[in-house]
């Protein structure tokens, strides 16, 4: 029995050793002398997916929204520290401004609490890309990934999917617009006014500067990190908007309430003005005033001005129930089509005053015609309809050759004036302007005023309307005078 017990124990120990060895061998990945490929061979790393250039429609590029609503958007680029951002958000609350923040993904990742504070205050968050690079200098693949990475971080940290993207300098090209569309974004956002650091301007100069460039449908941009005096700038912006009578809304609201402009060629009458070198036999009608027994006159308003000036004029005319005729300098209309459209929506006439206001008698006829046709097309696209086909020569300068050249373009009615209070002269007081108008006006008069900034026309306009009415005059548009 003793021998049997010894042999059984020995066998059991050998079996245990063998089993242990097998387990260890299995753990090291070897079995029967062969390597275990799952444990010892590295899995191949998949090659990065190639970004194929997007071939669909580009995202919109928006620097200003087409609207006549008295609204605009305040936007910010970048992200500051907690103290700076709290001060900024407090200032926006103080002036009841809802803004749109374009945040870079790399900085948002480190400060997610600020993003939540921005949203909690009722503001919007959009994408400033991942690293705030100038995407116009990058290849398409990098453009796409910079936008994509920024969007993903914003969604992860702020819980929202951006709809709009802006590069660090608000610059863009076709690749940026394609990359934005590739990422499902609605638009690439520019600006109508970028406010950089002030230098030595006085508070009044600062206010005038901002007020000059504020416009309905506009997009104001500030860089949070660059701007050294955000606490001083926000009150200036708020005051300038209040002076004009406009309010700030979020970018999304501004865009949603805006309109789409038809392309020029889709507007009836876009080609009503043409270059015509054969003008020697062209006809025209030169009009200083209308010969009539009716006590009716036309207020005509020339050139261009800021939203502050033009909106005040439109408001005075609306309050007084007067329809006027505006002769637009189209280089101003080109930069701010919303103002021109506002004139038409208020049922005023819009006529042609050339593109850049050259004196017609000092330039070749061909150049004058180019100015008229270019202005016609810009005005047509701005107001989305054919203008009143009435032309006023800059400075009232003409000779027989220029009159024929003008008539040959399709503008057969050439408007002059018989009442000119020289309100463009800043030394003329409101009293001077009113006295000249009231003294010189007669039946059928064409009264020449201007919509230039920093003159006394706004002060004079309601007074001269009241005094002319007291003399029995009524007010008509020039198109109505011409048609009679």
Percent with pLDDT over 90 in the chain:
86
Residue 10 has pLDDT above 50, yes or no: no
| pLDDT tens digits, one per residue of 264-306 | 999 999 999 999 999 999 999 999 999 999 999 999 999 999 9
Q: Is 198 exposed, middle or buried (0-12, 13-18, 19+ CB in 10 A)?
A: middle
CA 227 to CA 129: how far, in whole Å? 20
Domains and CATH numbers, the chain: 60-257 (3.20.20.370), 265-483 (3.20.20.370)
CA 258 to CA 217: how far, in whole Å? 8
Tokens, residue 153: 């971080």
Residue 483, pLDDT score: 87
CA 381 to CA 369: how far, in whole Å? 18
Model-level pTM? 0.87
Residue 39 has pLDDT above 60, yes or no: no
Asked whether 359 and 335 are in contact (CB, 8 A), the reply is no
| pLDDT tens digits, one per residue of 398-437 | 999 999 999 999 999 999 999 999 999 999 999 999 999 9
């Amino acid at each position: 029995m003793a021998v049997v017990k010894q042999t059984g124990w020995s066998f059991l120990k050998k079996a245990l050793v063998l089993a242990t060895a097998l387990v260890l061998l299995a753990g090291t990945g070897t079995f029967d002398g062969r390597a275990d490929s799952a444990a010892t061979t590295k899995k191949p790393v998949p090659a990065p997916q190639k970004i194929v250039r997007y071939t669909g429609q580009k995202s919109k590029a928006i620097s200003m929204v087409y609207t006549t609503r008295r609204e605009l958007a305040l936007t910010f680029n970048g992200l500051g520290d907690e103290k700076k951002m709290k001060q900024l958000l407090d200032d926006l609350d103080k002036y009841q401004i809802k803004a749109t923040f374009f945040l870079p993904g790399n900085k948002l990742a480190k400060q997610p609490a600020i993003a939540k504070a921005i949203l909690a205050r009722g503001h919007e968050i959009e994408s400033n890309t991942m690293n705030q690079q100038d995407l116009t200098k990058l290849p398409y693949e990098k453009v796409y990934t910079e936008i994509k990475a920024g969007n993903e971080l914003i969604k992860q940290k702020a819980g929202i999917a951006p709809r709009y993207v802006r590069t660090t300098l608000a610059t863009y090209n076709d690749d940026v617009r394609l990359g934005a569309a590739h990422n499902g974004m609605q638009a690439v956002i520019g600006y109508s006014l970028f406010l950089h650091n002030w230098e030595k301007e006085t508070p009044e100069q600062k206010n005038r500067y901002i007020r000059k460039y504020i416009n309905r449908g506009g997009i104001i941009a500030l860089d949070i990190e660059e701007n050294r005096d955000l606490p001083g700038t926000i009150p200036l912006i708020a005051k300038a908007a209040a002076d004009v009578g406009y309010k700030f809304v979020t970018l999304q609201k501004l865009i949603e309430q805006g309109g789409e402009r038809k392309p020029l060629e889709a507007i009836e009458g876009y080609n009503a003005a043409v270059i015509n070198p054969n003008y020697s036999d062209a006809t025209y009608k030169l009009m200083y005033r209308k010969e009539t027994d009716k006590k009716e006159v036309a207020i005509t308003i020339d050139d261009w001005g800021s939203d502050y000036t033009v909106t005040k004029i439109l408001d005075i005319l609306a309050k007084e129930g007067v329809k006027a005729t505006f002769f637009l300098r189209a280089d101003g209309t080109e930069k701010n089509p919303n103002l021109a459209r506002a004139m038409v929506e208020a049922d005023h006439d819009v006529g042609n005053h050339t593109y850049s206001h050259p004196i017609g008698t000092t330039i070749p006829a061909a150049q004058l015609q180019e100015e008229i046709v270019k202005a016609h097309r810009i005005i047509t696209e701005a107001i989305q309809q054919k203008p009143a086909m009435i032309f006023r020569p800059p400075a009232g300068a003409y000779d027989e050759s220029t009159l024929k050249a003008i008539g040959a373009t399709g503008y057969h009615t050439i408007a002059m004036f018989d009442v000119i209070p020289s309100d463009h002269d800043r030394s003329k007081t409101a009293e001077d302007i009113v006295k000249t108008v009231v003294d010189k006006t007669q039946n059928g008069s064409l009264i020449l005023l201007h919509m230039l900034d920093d003159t006394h026309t706004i002060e004079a306009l309601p007074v001269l309307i009241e005094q002319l009415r007291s003399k029995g005059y009524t007010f008509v548009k020039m198109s109505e005078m011409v048609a009679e």
